Each structure stands twice: as structure tokens, then as C-alpha cells.
């Protein structure tokens, strides 16, 4: 018997020790723990529960759970009906151990005794006893955690919004650089802004030429379609935010349109609650405005306004660029049409000139032949009857006829140079020059002339035209070195600035540089016929041939010191080897 009593006492000691451990665990827990008895009166309220609710243990012990819960309900919900609902639910829980919130994590907002609001997660569970059920509740204050979550979501939303802003700005910038049609660019931009930010309406106005109205050029949705069809426009400076924006050259923002004094009430946009009008400016010149409208009040942040204004600035530049491109394209089309018309006219004129040149040539040659023939007949048949002076006159008439015939031939050659079709091929200028030098010597075998020709100079060009040009240049040098005892003519390639330039140089009589501008004009001569024969057509022919090859020709010289003629060709060039000199004269080649 004694052993049984001792064993029972030991068990009671263990139970008391465990109860003490449990009580200390409950007391030290940072989570709120409460217990009720079978009637719903609170019998346990630990320190964690005091921290969460602001209610002390002494304030709640013995009070019913529904009364304490009712005290913690935020204002606005603490109605008598709510009190009865809480009481009924608690009593049902105590009777059956079941309720909609048993063993389920509930998130509640409570009001502490100091009036502050806290967010609490609580789990209620039944404890069965011999008389029914007790209620146990474990609570945790998650206010800071929830606030962190809310702040995180806010920052995440702000980040996503900023990303959308930047992506949209980038797409607007891309569209501004790639879309050259003004209407397509405007429509693309307003739809992009509306879709990305889910705005109620986005529209774009451009100022008319008179500067009196802002005319709608693009609008989103059905409202935009109807306004565009009706030719919607707003008076600059009138009773609208867009008109005010254009007139004052600055943005106007209405976070609550109900309080906005200057606003056009559009029956097609009845849900507008926030609106902004942003200026489209280009070099201090207003070209229009962008309107953005939302169905929510205070829908625009300062960041929204800043980024959308940047988009408006980009759009203004892009619209102007698109307008300029369209204008240039139209001018180019008109120019192309004019060029085509002028080409047809020039072809007709050239055909007429060709016919005229042929007619002149044919009509002039017949009387010239008659004059020359009768003059020769007079000299042959009546020479004895004419004195020396009369014979001299007839010789002069015949010489003039020959000069006139040569002039006609040169004019026809000049005309053919202008009209003839170009046939490009590889041409050795060095070989051409050498052939022409030999031919010139054969015309005057008694002259002694030294030619210096750089070998291997090859170009792409029309062989026949280039030969005519080289014949004239070398013939010019040959003629004006005629009075030199030892004449020298050189041909080669040199550099002038950063260009490769061909030259023909002689040590002849030269010319006065003050009259160099006359060298390449037809019929202009710097020397008299008595000194040197010619009609002033040769160098004009050279200039036309060089220009047809995409090049230029010019000359340098001084009186008594010779002349150098330079020319370029718009074709590939090449050359190799050293200059070679040789004499062309009697018995030499």
C-alpha cells in the first residue's frame, strides 16, 4: 500500500512539473495564446496576447470570448448584429467543437487598446472536456510582414510601371526613326500609349496652317473614329485643355476633371476623370498637342507626366521629319517629272539642232564651193588680165572659203561630240599620244620636236572621243611651239591635291592667264590668225569630251613660258614605268 501511495505521489509531481513547463512555455511565447472554459470564459491570456491586443490579462480573464472579440473589431463593423453573430458562433463551437473557422488560419484586422490597427493571423481549435469543448487560439501579429509585402508589391508595381514607360518610350523612339509616313506614325503612337497604360483615351492634335485650330489627326477607340470622321477640332486658346495647352505652349494637367475650369466636355468620352494635354513643340514652334485621358481620378504620377512629355517631344521631331521626307519625296517626284519632260524637250531640240546643223552644212557648202570654183576659174582663165592686186584678192577669197569649210567641219564635229553615244572600253592614253605625235610629225617633217610620254597610262573611256580630245590637245601644243628652235611636248600623270591628274605640257608661246577663261569657249582666240591659224573650236571640243567622261579640264601658262593643260577622267586609271623621251624629226621616229 505504501508503495502505491509513493508511486502516485511521484506521478503527481511529474504532472505538476510538466504543467509548470507548459505554463512557462505559454507565458514566454511571443505568439498570442488564449484558452476558454466550457462556458466561453477566458481562463488563459498570455503575454504574447497582451502584446498583440494591448489588453492585459487582468482585463480579460473571466470575460466571455465574444465580448473580448467584439472589443477588437474595427469601427464600422462593431454593430450589435456582428456581436450576436460572434456570440452565436462561439457558443456553437463550445457545444459541437465545429465552426467555419476551426483549425483554419484566419487573417484579421483588429484595433488595439491604443487605437492602432494590427493585422493578425489566428488559428482556433477545440479542446474536448467532460462537459463539452474549450476553445484554444494561437495568434501572431503579421502587421510588419504584411506591410513589407505591401511595400514590396508597391515597389514591384512601380518597377513594372517604369519598365512599361521605358519600353513604350523606346518603341515610340523606334517608330519615330523608322516610320516616315506622318499619319501612320501618329496613329501607331496613340494606340501604343493607350494599350500599354490602359488609358481611357489618347488623341493627337496638329495645329492648322492658320494657327487658329488644333485639328484631331489620330484618336483611339470608337470615340476617336467618330471624331476623326466628323473632322473634330478645338479652337486655339478656347475653352479646352488642348486649346489652352497650344496657346500657352505648356502642359495642363487635371487630376480631377470635375474641378477643372478649362475643359471641353466631350459627350463621346463621358467616363473621363483625369486628363492631361502635353505640347508638341519643335524649335519653340507649337505644332500640336497630345491628350491622354483616364477613367480614374489622379491617374497620372509625375513620372508618367515626365515620360509622356519626352514621348511628345520625340513625336514632334518625328512628325516634322516625316513631313520633310514627304515634302522631299513630293519635290523629287515633281523634279523627276520635270526632268522627264525636259529630257523630251531637249531630245526634240537636239533633233532640230541636228537637222539645222545638217541643213546649214549642206546649204553653206554649195555657195562656198561656187565661190571657190569661180575664184579658181578666174585665176586660171583670166590670170593675164588681172593685176597682182586682183590675183591677191582672189587668193584671199579662196583662203576664206577654205577657212569657212574647215569651220563648218569643226562645228559638225563639235555637235557630234555632244550627241554621240558613249562606248566604254580600255584605252591606252600613252599609245594614243604616241600615235598622234607620229602623225603630227608627218605633217611637218622639217620640224624637230622632243616628245616625253609616260608609258602605261590606261583608262576606261570612249576611244574615238578620247582620240579627238588628245588630237586637239597635242595639235594645240604642236601649233604653239612652231616658232621654237627646240620644241618640247610632254604627256604624263601627276598629283594635284589628292587627285590624279593628266597633263599635256609644252614650251610654246604660252598665254596671258588673265584670259584663261576664254580658252575653252568656242570661237574665242588668244592669238591672231596672222600668228597662228585656227578657229577656236578645238579646246571647246576637248572640254565637252572630258566632261562627258566625268572629268574636268583647265590650263596654266604664262606669256613666252609655255602652257600646261590638265584634265581628269571619272574612270579608273593606271600607269607604270619611267617617262621616256625621244626626238621626232627628219629621219627619226
Q: What is the per-residue pLDDT across 30-78, written as a single tens digit (0 to 9) for each?
A: 789 999 998 889 989 998 888 888 899 898 999 988 888 888 888 777 7
CATH code of the domain in which 467 resides = 3.30.565.10
Query: How far apart are the two ends of the chain, measured CA to CA in Å?
Result: 159
Q: What interhelical angle do 463-480 and 429-443 show, nearest 10? A: 50
Whether residue 412 sits in one domain with residue 464: no
Closest CA to 489 of 585, 563, 587: 563
DSSP annotation string for 268-297? T-TT--EEEEEEEEETTEEEEEEEEEESST
Q: Quick one: average pLDDT of 571-578? A: 42
Cα 67 from Cα 313, distance rounded (Å): 64
**Is residue 12 situated within a structural domain?**
no
Whether residue 179 sits in one domain with residue 223: yes
More confident residue, 411 or 434: 434
**Is residue 11 situated within a structural domain?**
no
**Is residue 210 situated within a structural domain?**
yes
Q: What is the mean pLDDT of the chain?
A: 80
Distances (CA, A) of 426 to 115, 463, 541: 102, 8, 21
Cα 121 from Cα 116, distance rounded (Å): 16
Q: The C-alpha cell of 391 is what?
A: 590675183
Whether residue 318 sits in one domain with residue 201: yes
Q: How many domains does the chain have?
A: 4
Cα 453 from Cα 565, distance rounded (Å): 15
DSSP annotation string for 356-382? HHHHHHHHHHHHHHHHHHHHHHHHHHS
Closest CA to 175 of 319, 277, 327, 290: 319
The b-or-e profile of 62-76 (16+ CB within 10 A means b, else e) is: ebbbbbbbbbbbeee
**Is residue 23 situated within a structural domain?**
no
Whether residue 321 sits in one domain with residue 336: no
DSSP, collapsed to helix, strand or coil, labels residue 505 as strand
Cα 172 from Cα 309, distance rounded (Å): 12
CATH code of the domain in which 37 resides = 3.30.450.20
Can you give the pLDDT at residue 106?
A: 82
Which of these ranges, 287-301, 313-327, 399-413, has the smallest mean pLDDT? 399-413
Structural domain boundaries enclosing 550: 423-584
CATH code of the domain in which 393 resides = 1.10.287
| Cα 278 from chain centre | 23
Whether residue 379 sits in one domain with residue 448: no
**Is residue 558 situated within a structural domain?**
yes
Whether residue 304 sits in one domain with residue 319: yes
Whether residue 126 sits in one domain with residue 91: yes
508: which DSSP letter? Answer: S
Can you give the pLDDT at residue 354?
A: 66
CATH code of the domain in which 309 resides = 3.30.450.40
Last residue of a domain, one of 327, 360, 378: 327
Strands (E), 541-579: 553-557, 563-567, 573-574
Cα 546 from Cα 552, distance rounded (Å): 6
Residue carrying the nine cell digits 529630257: 343
Q: Quick one: average pLDDT of 520-537? A: 52
Whether residue 137 sits in one domain with residue 181: no
**Is residue 563 situated within a structural domain?**
yes
Last residue of a domain, one of 88, 120, 141: 141
Contact 264, 276 (CB under 8 A): no
Whether residue 446 sits in one domain with residue 573: yes
User: Percent of the chain, pLDDT > 70?
Assistant: 77
Q: What interhelical angle do 388-419 and 538-548 show, nearest 10? A: 10
Q: Quick one: average pLDDT of 85-92? A: 82
Instruction: Place 316 in a pLDDT band, splitting at 50, 70 and 90.
Output: confident
Which of these ranges, 112-121, 132-141, 405-414, 545-554, has the smallest mean pLDDT? 405-414
Closest CA to 308 of 170, 214, 169: 169
55: which DSSP letter? Answer: -
Cα 508 from Cα 441, distance rounded (Å): 16
Can you give the pLDDT at residue 225?
A: 94
Whether residue 489 sits in one domain with residue 350: no
Cα 86 from Cα 244, distance rounded (Å): 59
Residue 105 phi, psi (nearest 5): -70, 120
DSSP, collapsed to helix, strand or coil, labels residue 111 as strand
Can you give the pLDDT at residue 157?
A: 61
3-state secondary structure 314-358: HHHHHHHHHHHHHHHHHHHHHHHHHHHHHHHHHHHHHHHHHHHHH
DSSP annotation string for 470-510? HHHHHHHHHHHTTT-SSEEEEEEEEEETTEEEEEEEE-S--
Q: What interhelical angle do 302-381 and 143-178 show, nearest 10? A: 10
Whether residue 193 sits in one domain with residue 93: no
**Is residue 19 situated within a structural domain?**
no
More confident residue, 311 or 154: 311
Q: Quick one: average pLDDT of 385-394? A: 82
Last residue of a domain, one of 141, 165, 198: 141
DSSP, collapsed to helix, strand or coil, labels residue 179 as coil
**Is residue 22 situated within a structural domain?**
no
What Rg do the C-alpha atoms of the chain give, in angstroms? 54
The listed range with the strongest mean pLDDT (97-101, 263-267, 275-279) is 275-279
pLDDT of 587 over the 60 cut: no
Whether residue 46 sits in one domain with residue 176: no
Amino acid at each position: 500500500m505504501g508503495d502505491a501511495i509513493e508511486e502516485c505521489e511521484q506521478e503527481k509531481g511529474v504532472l505538476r512539473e510538466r504543467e509548470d513547463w507548459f505554463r512557462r512555455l505559454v507565458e514566454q511565447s511571443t505568439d498570442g495564446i488564449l484558452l476558454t472554459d466550457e462556458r466561453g470564459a477566458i481562463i488563459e491570456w498570455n503575454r504574447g496576447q497582451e502584446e498583440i491586443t494591448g489588453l492585459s490579462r487582468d482585463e480579460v480573464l473571466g470575460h466571455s470570448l465574444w465580448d473580448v472579440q467584439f472589443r477588437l473589431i474595427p469601427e464600422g463593423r462593431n454593430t450589435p448584429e456582428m456581436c450576436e453573430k460572434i456570440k452565436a458562433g462561439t457558443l456553437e463551437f463550445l457545444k459541437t467543437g465545429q465552426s467555419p473557422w476551426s483549425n483554419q488560419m484566419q487573417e484579421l484586422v483588429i484595433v488595439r487598446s491604443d487605437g492602432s490597427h494590427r493585422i493578425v493571423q489566428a488559428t482556433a481549435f477545440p479542446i474536448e472536456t467532460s462537459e463539452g469543448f474549450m476553445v484554444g487560439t494561437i495568434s501572431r501579429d503579421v502587421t510588419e510582414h504584411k506591410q513589407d509585402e505591401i511595400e514590396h508589391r508597391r515597389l514591384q508595381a512601380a518597377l513594372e510601371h517604369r519598365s512599361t514607360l521605358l519600353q513604350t518610350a523606346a518603341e515610340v523612339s523606334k517608330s519615330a526613326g523608322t516610320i516616315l509616313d506622318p499619319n501612320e506614325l501618329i496613329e501607331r503612337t496613340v494606340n501604343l500609349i493607350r494599350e500599354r497604360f490602359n488609358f481611357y483615351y489618347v488623341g493627337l492634335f496638329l495645329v492648322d496652317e492658320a494657327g487658329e485650330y488644333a485639328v484631331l489627326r489620330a484618336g483611339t477607340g470608337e470615340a476617336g473614329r467618330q471624331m476623326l470622321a466628323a473632322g473634330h477640332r478645338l479652337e486655339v486658346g478656347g475653352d479646352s485643355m488642348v486649346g489652352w495647352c497650344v496657346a500657352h505652349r505648356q502642359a495642363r494637367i487635371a487630376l480631377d476633371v470635375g474641378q477643372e475650369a478649362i475643359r471641353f466636355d466631350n459627350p463621346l468620352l463621358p467616363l473621363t476623370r483625369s486628363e492631361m494635354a502635353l505640347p508638341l513643340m519643335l524649335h519653340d514652334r507649337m505644332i500640336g498637342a497630345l491628350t491622354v485621358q483616364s477613367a480614374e481620378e489622379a491617374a497620372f504620377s509625375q513620372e508618367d507626366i515626365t515620360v509622356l512629355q519626352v514621348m511628345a517631344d520625340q513625336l514632334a521631331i518625328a512628325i516634322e521629319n516625316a513631313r520633310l521626307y514627304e515634302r522631299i519625296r513630293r519635290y523629287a517626284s515633281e523634279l523627276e517629272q520635270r526632268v522627264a519632260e525636259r529630257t523630251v524637250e531637249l531630245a526634240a531640240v537636239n533633233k532640230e539642232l541636228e537637222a539645222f546643223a545638217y541643213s546649214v552644212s549642206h546649204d553653206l557648202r554649195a555657195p562656198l564651193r561656187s565661190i571657190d570654183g569661180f575664184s579658181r576659174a578666174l585665176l586660171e582663165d583670166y590670170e593675164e588680165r588681172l593685176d597682182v592686186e586682183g590675183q591677191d584678192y582672189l587668193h584671199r577669197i579662196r583662203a576664206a572659203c577654205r577657212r569657212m569649210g574647215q569651220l563648218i567641219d569643226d562645228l559638225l564635229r563639235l555637235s557630234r561630240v555632244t550627241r554621240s553615244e558613249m562606248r566604254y572600253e580600255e584605252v591606252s592614253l600613252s599609245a594614243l599620244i604616241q600615235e598622234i605625235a607620229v602623225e603630227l610629225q608627218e605633217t611637218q617633217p622639217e620640224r624637230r620636236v622632243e616628245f616625253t610620254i609616260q608609258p602605261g597610262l590606261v583608262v576606261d573611256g570612249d576611244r574615238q572621243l578620247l582620240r579627238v580630245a588628245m588630237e586637239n590637245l597635242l595639235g594645240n601644243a604642236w601649233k604653239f611651239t612652231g616658232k621654237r628652235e627646240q620644241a618640247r611636248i610632254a604627256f604624263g600623270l601627276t598629283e594635284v591635291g589628292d587627285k590624279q591628274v593628266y597633263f599635256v605640257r609644252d614650251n610654246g608661246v604660252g598665254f596671258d592667264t588673265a584670259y584663261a577663261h576664254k580658252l575653252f569657249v568656242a570661237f574665242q582666240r588668244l592669238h591672231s590668225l596672222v600668228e597662228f591659224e585656227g578657229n577656236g573650236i578645238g579646246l571647246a571640243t576637248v572640254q565637252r569630251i572630258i566632261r562627258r567622261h566625268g572629268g574636268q579640264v583647265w590650263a596654266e601658262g604664262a606669256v613666252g613660258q609655255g602652257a600646261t593643260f590638265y584634265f581628269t577622267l571619272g574612270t579608273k586609271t593606271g600607269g607604270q614605268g619611267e617617262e621616256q623621251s625621244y626626238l621626232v624629226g627628219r629621219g627619226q621616229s
